[in-house]
Amino acid sequence: MESEMGESKTVMDYGRIATSLDRMAAQIRECNPGNPDLVFVGIRARGDYLATRLADRVSKAEGRDIPLGALDIGLYRDDADKVIPEVRASEIPGSLEAKVVVLVDDVLFTGRTIRAALDALMNYGRPQKIELAVLVDRGHRELPIQPNYVGLTVETSVVDKVEVNMSEDGKKDSVIIRKK
């Protein structure tokens, strides 16, 4: 399959994404057994969809509702002077004071999005702990940030594009790497 960028490869389809989320939810439960202070917060956009899917899996397994939020980081980006951020509302379920927050994003690349999210989270209280869950870790970190839970680790070049498609956006669940 060719695109304007070059070769593209689907590395995750619906089934592989679902299996990865099942595994990640089990790992989160194992590390936080029955923790009443557990909260999921997804980074908009797509991290919030993944956070919803993970929270649903943990909630069903534990037979209780797990608080869920969505975080917009547009105003916390360190490139806001170069890019006009699309600002959307954050929806955080109350104070995060003394909570164990599982921060969720779709792709971990340089770490700058996560750094911005950590800054934004502090406006909602000081969590006891923040864990990071990502669907895809593509490497190339510019900051010392590592995920606790990963769906898939892929090798990419810095110029490759990792595209995450989700049914919540009206697309078929998939992760595609587009080579430059």
In a domain, 7, yes or no: no
In a domain, 38, yes or no: yes
Q: Are 8 and 179 in contact (CB under 8 A)?
A: yes
83 vs 136 pLDDT, higher one: 136
Q: What is the mean pLDDT of residues 60-65?
A: 97
57 within some domain? yes
**Number of folded domains that form the chain:** 1
pTM greater than 0.75: yes
Which domain, by its residues, includes 152? Answer: 34-159
In a domain, 49, yes or no: yes
Q: 49-62, pLDDT tens digit by residue?
A: 999 999 999 999 99
Mean pLDDT of all residues belonging to the chain: 93
Range 6-30 average pLDDT: 97
Q: Give pLDDT tens digits for 81-90.
A: 556 566 678 9
> Is a pLDDT exceeding 80 seen at residue 137?
yes
Distance CA 51, CA 76 (A): 20
